[in-house]
Chain A
Amino acid sequence: MSPLRADLEIVANWVGRGDRVLDLGCGDGRLLRYLFDRRQATGYGLEIDPDGITRSLANGINVIESDIDEGLSDFDTNAFDQVILTQTLQAVQRPDQLLWEMLRVGRTGIVTFPNFAYYRLRWHLAVKGRMPMSHALSYAWYETPNIHFCTIDDFEALCEQLSIHIIERRVLSHDYKSPRLARWMPNLFGEVALYRICRA
């Protein structure tokens, strides 16, 4: 199996042995496959993209074709140890409601998203006057599935408002490393933010 991307590696390390996991927007199912194999995790991936469904099936995970914008009503309260949302928060209709749902069905949540306040994106918008594109944000504004960009500060403010407790935060720069600059001023120098959260 090809190695996990560095951000997913961090996410995987947050999952405990034998955890029951729900991966929202599981893509090709690679993370879940890894968790099934290395962490003896069990659970399901939800995906809406037909190609993602096929690739997840090929990866041997349990994948359910489902639109997470319609909520997680298929799942009981506290049904999972971990509910994971990687690089998808910005693409959902109501991130606030989804976060709430995640922490209803899961004991803890793991959320990762591109930080829109990253200095390169600020530079792109400020100097070029155009919507930023980078390798983490690879879509032009007119075709992007991303409808709710947020910054690290925005996300933390929302958590506070929703009484969500942040257990741990990691901030990565564009090469998925964790440089001192990003730790010092995450909202400016962090390109990707990773959070472990739970109900306060």
Chain B
Amino acid sequence: MAAPAEETSVGVIVPQTVHFDEPLALDSGRVLPGYTLAYETYGTLNADASNAILVCHALSGNHHAAGYHHAGERKPGWWEACIGPGKPLDTNRFFVVCSNNLGGCHGSTGPTSIDPETGELYGADFPLVTVRDWVRSQARLADHLGVARWAAVAGGSLGGMQAMQWAIDQPERLRHAVVIAAAPRLSAQNIAFNEVARQAIRSDPDFQDGRYAATGDRPRTGLMLARMLGHITYLSEAAMGEKFGRERRDTRGGYHYNYDVEFEVESYLRYQGESFVDRFDANTYLLMTRALDYFDPAAATDGDLSVALSGVTAPFFVASFTSDWRFPPAASHEIVRALLDTDKRVSYAEIRANHGHDAFLMPVPRYREVFSTYMQRIAEEVGV
């Protein structure tokens, strides 16, 4: 059994970029004349390039999955819990790659990049991209890195959907698919949450049909509301209750009888929303939520997911979390069921955790244990 001996971070990481000149045809019918991907790598690629793992990020993520950008930085990358020496994605064995998705706002070509054809920011004119487009764009990154076949493509949430799409679209290019806290498609309720988030952004007067860059204003209020809503749905009631309960911001005296922050949970949400505005672009948020809405590999096969997965050759590891009501265990189970129906190799763990959807980012002991054990198996298979 994988027993993480000593745990450390991957340390200080320097992000990289790669530009592709070859045009990329998108699902929407539009063509990107070329594009840049920002990415980070952790660990060392071995001689036969068999130990590479692609990590796909979730909705508001980026390429900074582990480590720190400078010594003394307070917050590590988003999957620090799982990437590093002795962690499930053990950088002593694996070469881990995480790219910022196309359409992102942290270095990959997206709404905040210059459109080479106009010389202006893409902004709202950046084409909508899909999960399939991301797979296509990342396949070129694999070529660039000299990785013919990933030991695994892994991700949580939207990243898990991407891992699934990789297994469908490029079966010969990955050995394993690791799909965590994901779903075969969004439920109507999920699309509804995304729509509320988008409307919060789009109805902000500063949004200006997405052309806010021209004026220098940004739809701060809208983006903040979108993020606050998202945050509520990523946690469980129990997790919020445990973290905040009805804790008051000001413990002296009674209520203030106004709409300022009374409760700690309000303060938390406002903080999360405001700090998000400083690091994320509204057009990217719209585009990423839309990519989530559109994801539905079974749509191409009359809704039959097992047919959609019939060409898959990678064994799957699927994991879900009991308190995740945004992408509940039943959604993961649908993926498992479809794989069983078509005789694919699949393992599934349903992890008891009260953190809600965000559990996939947390160091939940059992999650770490099963994830590590599965990755250990991959390490043995590729001989690292």
Binding site for B on A (CB under 8 A): 20, 42, 44, 50, 53-58, 60-66, 74-76
Residue in chain B with minimal CB distance to A43: B343
20 interchain pairs (CB within 8 A)? A44-B340, A50-B349, A53-B349, A53-B370, A54-B370, A54-B373, A57-B347, A57-B374, A57-B377, A58-B2, A58-B377, A61-B347, A62-B315, A62-B345, A62-B346, A63-B348, A64-B340, A65-B349, A65-B350, A74-B337
Q: B373 is contacted by which of A44, A58, A75, A76 (Cβ under 8 Å)? A: A58
Contact of A63 with B369 at beta-carbon distance under 8 Å, contacts A58-B376, A74-B337 already known: no
User: How many angstroms from the CA of A60 to the CA of B345 in the assembled complex?
Assistant: 11
Contact of A65 with B377 at beta-carbon distance under 8 Å, contacts A50-B366, A74-B337 already known: no
Question: Whole-angstrom distance from the CB of A185 to the nearest CB of chain B?
Answer: 43
1/0 per position for B1-40, CB-CB distance to A under 8 A? 1100000000000000000000000000000000000000
CB contact list, B352-384 vs A, under 8 A: 352, 366, 369-370, 373-374, 376-377
Q: B120 near A: Cβ within 8 Å?
A: no
On whether the beta carbons of A75 and B340 are closer than 8 Å, the reply is yes
Residue in chain B with minimal CB distance to A45: B347
On whether the beta carbons of A64 and B336 are closer than 8 Å, the reply is yes
Residues of A near B352 (CB, < 8 A) are 50
User: How many angstroms from the CA of A57 to the CA of B347 in the assembled complex?
Assistant: 8
User: How many angstroms from the CA of A54 to the CA of B336 in the assembled complex?
Assistant: 17
Residues of A near B242 (CB, < 8 A) are none
Question: Whole-angstrom distance from the CB of B341 to the nearest CB of chain A?
Answer: 7
Residue in chain A with minimal CB distance to B345: A62
Question: Whole-angstrom distance from the CB of A55 to the nearest CB of chain B?
Answer: 7
Residues of A near B366 (CB, < 8 A) are 50
Interface centre among A42, A57, A58, A62 (most CB of B within 10 A): A57
User: How many angstroms from the CA of A119 to the CA of B324 in the assembled complex?
Assistant: 50
On whether the beta carbons of B1 and A54 are closer than 8 Å, the reply is yes
Question: Whole-angstrom distance from the CB of B380 to the nearest CB of chain A?
Answer: 8
User: How many angstroms from the CA of A60 to the CA of B380 in the assembled complex?
Assistant: 10
Residues of B near A54 (CB, < 8 A) are 1, 369-370, 373
Residues of A near B346 (CB, < 8 A) are 44, 62, 64
User: How many angstroms from the CA of A53 to the CA of B317 in the assembled complex?
Assistant: 12
Apart from the given pairs A62-B345, A74-B340, 5 other A-B contacts in the complex at a CB distance below 8 Å = A50-B352, A53-B349, A54-B373, A62-B315, A65-B350
Residue in chain B with minimal CB distance to A29: B347
Contact of A57 with B373 at beta-carbon distance under 8 Å, contacts A62-B345, A62-B346, A64-B347 already known: yes
CB contact list, B271-309 vs A, under 8 A: none
Residue in chain B with minimal CB distance to A63: B347
Residues of A near B376 (CB, < 8 A) are 58
User: How many angstroms from the CA of A74 to the CA of B1 in the assembled complex?
Assistant: 29
User: How many angstroms from the CA of A79 to the CA of B287 in the assembled complex?
Assistant: 42
Residue in chain A with minimal CB distance to B333: A74
Residues of A near B343 (CB, < 8 A) are 20, 42
Interface centre among B315, B340, B341 (most CB of A within 10 A): B340
User: How many angstroms from the CA of A175 to the CA of B373 in the assembled complex?
Assistant: 33
Residue in chain B with minimal CB distance to A20: B343
Closest 7 CB pairs of A and B: A57-B373, A64-B348, A65-B350, A63-B347, A65-B349, A58-B373, A62-B345
Residues of A near B317 (CB, < 8 A) are 57
Residues of B near A42 (CB, < 8 A) are 343
Residues of B near A62 (CB, < 8 A) are 315, 345-347
Question: Whole-angstrom distance from the CB of A104 to the nearest CB of chain B?
Answer: 15
Question: Whole-angstrom distance from the CB of B152 to the nearest CB of chain A?
Answer: 14
Residues of B near A63 (CB, < 8 A) are 347-348
User: How many angstroms from the CA of A57 to the CA of B370 in the assembled complex?
Assistant: 7
CB contact list, B83-139 vs A, under 8 A: none
User: How many angstroms from the CA of A79 to the CA of B64 in the assembled complex?
Assistant: 44
Residues of A near B377 (CB, < 8 A) are 57-58, 60
User: How many angstroms from the CA of A57 to the CA of B341 in the assembled complex?
Assistant: 20
Residue in chain B with minimal CB distance to A53: B349
Residues of A near B337 (CB, < 8 A) are 74
Residues of B near A50 (CB, < 8 A) are 349, 352, 366, 370
On whether the beta carbons of A58 and B347 are closer than 8 Å, the reply is no
On whether the beta carbons of B348 and A65 are closer than 8 Å, the reply is yes
Residues of B near A55 (CB, < 8 A) are 1
Residues of A near B315 (CB, < 8 A) are 62
Question: Whole-angstrom distance from the CB of B305 to the nearest CB of chain A?
Answer: 13
User: How many angstroms from the CA of A157 to the CA of B377 in the assembled complex?
Assistant: 44
Interface centre among A44, A63, A64 (most CB of B within 10 A): A64
Question: Whole-angstrom distance from the CB of B139 to the nearest CB of chain A?
Answer: 27
CB contact list, B327-345 vs A, under 8 A: 336-337, 340-341, 343, 345
User: How many angstroms from the CA of A10 to the CA of B336 in the assembled complex?
Assistant: 31
Residue in chain A with minimal CB distance to B318: A64
Question: Whole-angstrom distance from the CB of A115 to the nearest CB of chain B?
Answer: 33
Residues of B near A53 (CB, < 8 A) are 349, 370
On whether the beta carbons of A58 and B1 are closer than 8 Å, the reply is yes
Residues of B near A56 (CB, < 8 A) are 347
Question: Whole-angstrom distance from the CB of B231 to the nearest CB of chain A?
Answer: 28
User: How many angstroms from the CA of A115 to the CA of B347 in the assembled complex?
Assistant: 33
